[in-house]
Structure 1
Amino acid sequence: MVKRFVLSMLMLLLVISTTTACSNANATKKNSDGKVNVTTTVGMITDIVKVVGGEHVNVVGLMGSGVDPHLYKASQGDIKKLDQADIIFYNGLHLEGKMVEIFERMAKKKPTVAVSDNIDRSSLRLGNEDMGTEYDPHIWFNVAHWMKATESVRDSLIEIDPAHKEVYEENAANYLKQLEELDNEVREKIASIPESGRVLVTAHDAFGYFGDAYDIRVMGLQGISTASEAGTKDLIDLRDYLVNNQIKAVFIESSVPRKAIDAVIQGASEKGHNVEIGGELFSDAMGEDGTPEGTYIGMVRHNVNTIVNALK
């Protein structure tokens, strides 16, 4: 009996020892370079973390150029990246609609931050509850909202890594100054478009915050989420609006198929009104890494210049 007890205790100690060793090995591997491991969803958030975190973070973004976050489903590889992170940043407001349960599960194990949480809900545009979007999630199109998101990233990095508080604060302060300048630049450029032609027609309704903030009328063929599809009536209504108001340009989006927009252009042509593609805008995803459009500021500048050149 005593022998069996001793043997059982030895086995238990062996299991505990092995588990602890594995845990310590994983921890050493995870933090071997002393940096905070961060996993993000959309590229715009990845960009904030890179700028604010600087050399003290390792950042892995799940969604690259041309990826539609509304329809994105996490792979097993993505789950592993989320598991290995010290902290996770996502947009929230149901942008990453198919990942909600994953974020809820991760939040029980580690900091999982929706960068939209510190934005006053009274300043948000309403969404479509039928599609599960209480609020419009495309907050980055109002630069002032994206400044709030930057502050959220800053504060969360300080909380998990207080040793580099001053660095995060300095990096964020410099970036916030750039964003403030960008906000003024966008307002001035959009104001240069004659008011009668200040109409932005896009593939889906992603630019509502942009329209509200910078005084330009926005019309999207699809709804706030690309999970909704444009019906025949939507196509006809938009075609008639373009014809009746002599709108000369519409815009495609890098992360949304252009088939429906092409159908509207064809419909307008059959009515005797020529509508051109004013250019490609970045909506739910930024440009390729290493290009100006692969950063948030570069993406916004590209969009604004494209819109102004086509409508002015």
Structure 2
Amino acid sequence: MKKSMKSLLGVFCAALLMLTGCGQTANHPTTASSDEPLKVVATTTMLADLARNIGGEYANVSALMGPGIDPHLYQASAGDVSLMQQADVVIYNGLHLEGKMGEIFQSLSTRGDHVICIENGLEPSQLLSAEGSSDIPDPHIWFDVSLWKSAAQTVADGLSKADSAHTDTYQANMKTYLTELEELDAYIHSRAEEIPQQQRVLVTAHDAFQYFGRAYGFEVKGLQGISTDAEAGTADVSTLADFIVERKIKAIFVESSVPPKTIQALQAAIRAKGFESVIGGELYSDSLGDAEAGTDTYITSFKANIDTIVDALK
């Protein structure tokens, strides 16, 4: 049934008020009936893919951010807020990944079981912190498959609470997906072992791969901090260039969601010091790839990443 113009205007105004922190959270829509899929809104491409795998036919999933979008810098529009207000379930990462949207999630949190925060399903002992700051968590948890398995459980439990009629399906889908994640984990370990331990050094545009490094035995160096809000200065570039020359690292990597200029500046600094390090390829960091490249799922993007890293460093 089409909404009246008055109703549409009310939703738009409510969204604008929420963006300024002055509005009240809209009433949560009734949970979807047994023959109607849940309306699920996820912030990132990774979470949208996870929700589709767990929700299956009973979840109609939308992602606020598309491929190549940086969640650290993303600012929700009035339309985004309206979309979240009208959803049955909202899923977000937490750990300050969606750094510009904190007030919106705080407002939505009054909806209880219908807002799923992945952070809440993780133990603090599993988390890493930003280099030099124990108070700032590293949000890039999807780069450790074991943590993404915990995220799958969190999403399955959240969807089950929002739509108890299909709990068995959500839990079964989750178990099937966990098997696929275990296969992915084994593949990553197998490919990583093709590189001698001392050569497993991953240099990227920003510090998004620390969980990957911990899980798969790589030393990771990011030119920027864990958030792309931080900017790399000339001293940062020079220091990292010295490290690369000293360790004779053959390849450095750009990221799909970060402009390549910082890595290109690093490559120039390395060359000025008399060493050549190639750009080994583009990695998917804060978003998945797209269907055209065949990397529009978590599993295909992660496989593409490990293949790019290993092939370049070998």
Assess same fold via TM > 0.5. yes
Given the superposition, is the C-alpha separation of residues 50 and 290 from structure 1 closer, same or farther in structure 2, using an over 3 Å criterion? Answer: farther
Offset at residue 223 of structure 1 (A): 0.3
Offset at residue 108 of structure 1 (A): 1.5
Aligned residue pairs, count: 288
**Aligned residue runs from structure 1 range 1-312, under 5 A:** 34-109=36-111, 111-127=114-130, 134-289=136-291, 291-312=293-314
CA distance in 1, matches of 2:35, 2:135: 39
SS, match of residue 108 in structure 1:
helix
> What amino acid does structure 2 have at the position aligned with 1:105?
S
CA distance in 2, matches of 1:175, 1:96: 25
> What amino acid does structure 1 have at the position aligned with 2:68?
G
CA distance in 1, matches of 2:124, 2:231: 27
Offset at residue 73 of structure 1 (A): 0.2
Offset at residue 268 of structure 1 (A): 1.1
> What amino acid does structure 2 have at the position aligned with 1:37?
K
Deviation per CA, 1:112-149: give whole Å up to 9, x if none: 1111211111111013697x972100000000000000
Note if contact 1:248-1:275 (Cα within 8 Å) is conserved in structure 2. yes
Note if contact 1:93-1:133 (Cα within 8 Å) is conserved in structure 2. no
CA distance in 2, matches of 1:29, 1:216: 44
Equivalent in the alignment of 2:16: none
CA distance in 2, matches of 1:98, 1:129: 23
Q: Provide structure 1 residue ranges, at least 5 long, that are not aligned to the other structure.
A: 1-18
Identity of aligned residues (%): 46
Equivalent in the alignment of 1:16: none
Deviation per CA, 1:61-111: give whole Å up to 9, x if none: 001100000000000110111011011100000000110110010112352
Offset at residue 290 of structure 1 (A): 5.8
- Larger deviation, residues 231-240 vs 187-196: 187-196
CA distance in 2, matches of 1:257, 1:174: 36
**TM-score, normalised on structure 1?**
0.88
**TM-score, normalised on structure 2?**
0.87
Deviation per CA, 1:281-312: give whole Å up to 9, x if none: 00001111464311000010000000010012
CA distance in 1, matches of 2:306, 2:232: 25
SS, match of residue 74 in structure 2:
coil
Given the superposition, is the C-alpha separation of residues 266 and 30 from structure 1 closer, same or farther in structure 2, using an over 3 Å criterion? Answer: same
Offset at residue 33 of structure 1 (A): 6.0
Given the superposition, is the C-alpha separation of residues 133 and 40 from structure 1 closer, same or farther in structure 2, using an over 3 Å criterion? Answer: farther
CA distance in 2, matches of 1:299, 1:125: 22
Superposed CA RMSD: 2.2
Given the superposition, is the C-alpha separation of residues 27 and 98 from structure 1 closer, same or farther in structure 2, using an over 3 Å criterion? Answer: closer
Structure 1 outlier segments of 4+, above 3 Å: 26-33
Equivalent in the alignment of 1:10: none
